[in-house]
Amino acid sequence: MSSDTSRRAVIRAFGGPDAIELEDVVLPPPGTGEVRMRSTAIGLNFIDTYHRSGLYPIELPSGLGVEAAGVVEAVGEGVNGFAVGDRVCTFGPERGSYSTVRNIAASALLKTPDNVSDELAAAALLKGCTVEFLVERCAFVKPGEHILVHAAAGGVGLLLVQWLKAIGAHVIGTVSTEEKAKLARDAGADHVILYGNEDVAPQVRELTDGRGVRASFDGVGKDTWAASLDSVARRGLIVSYGNASGPVTGVALGQLAAKGSLFVTRPGLFDYYRSPAERQAGSTRMFEMLASGALTVSIGQRYALDDIVQAHIDLEARKTVGSTILLP
C-alpha cells in the first residue's frame, strides 16, 4: 500500500459491530495545521462503541477510534513543534484512529516519550489520562480515603486501582469473575467483591466500619448505579464516567439527599483536557506515573485492524481484560 493510501474503519449508520466497514482511500497532502501520521499501534476503548452505536451521537459518515501512536510522515503549513520522523501519539478528540495512516491536526498530537513504546502509548494514553483527571482533578482523592472502583479489572479499572494505591488510598474493587479478581488484587486492590456472588453495598459498609467509601468510580453505569448510591459515605461522591451496561437515567435528586447528601458528577475527558496547557500537564503527569512504575499497563489482547468487528464484539461482551490494541 502506498504512503498516501489509508485503510480505515468507518460507519455510515449507527448500529452494532457489523456497522463497521473497512475501506481503502487515497489521502490528500496534510492541510494547514495538519500532519500525516502513520499508525503503528491503535487503542481500542469503550467510548468507540458509544460512537458506533449512537449512544454518543456523531455526524455520519465517520471514522472511529480516538487513540493511536505512530510516526509523522509529512507536515503541513503552519505546523510548529513536529517534524518528519517524530514519534507521536493522540487520544482525540478527533475520531479516525482506526486507520493505517491519516491526516490529523497537529494540536491533537503529543510527542511520545523515548522511554514509552508505541504499543504502550496506544494502550495507556486515553485510559491513563482519564484516570489522571478522575483521581487528581475530579475527585481530589487524598491518602487514607476508602475508594470503590467498579469493573476493577477493566482497562480503566486496573489503572484506577494502581493510581489510587500509589497515592495512598484504600481500594475496594468489584469484578465479575475470580480470574478478574486476581487481576484486581495484583494491581493493588485491598479488597475485591464478586458482584455476581454477593451484594456490593453491604460488603462495602462492612469493610469501612459502616461509613461507606468517600468516592465511587463507576464506569459500568446502569447496572452498578444502585450499588454506588448505597456504598458512598455521607457527603461522598459518585463519579459516573462510563456506560458499559447502559446509561444511568432518571436520577432522582431526592435520593441523593436520602443517601447522605451525596454528590454526583458525570465528567468528560475533554472538559478536563480542554486547553493545550491542561493536555500537556495531564499527559506529562500520566507519563511520569508510567515511567516511575507506579502505573503498569497490561495489554490483554491484540487484534489486526482488519479484525475490528470481532474486537468490538469481544469488548462489549466483557471478554477483554486490561487494554486492547489494534495492529495496522
Q: What angle do CA 158, 160, 166 make, to 5 degrees?
A: 105
- Summarised one tens digit per residue, pLDDT across range 182-197 is 999 999 999 999 987 8
pLDDT above 90 for 318: no
- Summarised one tens digit per residue, pLDDT across range 263-284 is 999 999 999 999 888 998 999 9
pLDDT above 80 for 322: no
* Nearest partner of 120 among 312, 319, 286, judged by Cα: 286
- Mean pLDDT, rounded, for 157-168: 96
pLDDT above 80 for 8: yes
Q: Mind listing the domains of the chain with CATH numbers?
A: 5-124+273-327 (3.90.180.10), 143-266 (3.40.50.720)
- Summarised one tens digit per residue, pLDDT across range 90-148 is 998 899 999 999 999 999 999 999 989 999 999 999 999 999 999 999 999 999 999 99
β-partners of residue 322 are 154
β-partners of residue 172 are 148, 191
| DSSP string of 132-150, one letter each residue | HIIIIIIS---TT-EEEES
- Mean pLDDT, rounded, for 53-80: 95
- Mean pLDDT, rounded, for 166-177: 96
- Summarised one tens digit per residue, pLDDT across range 218-245 is 988 788 889 999 999 999 999 999 877 7
3-class secondary-structure state, position 232 = strand
pLDDT above 60 for 48: yes
- Helices within 91-143 (DSSP H only): 118-132
pLDDT above 60 for 1: no
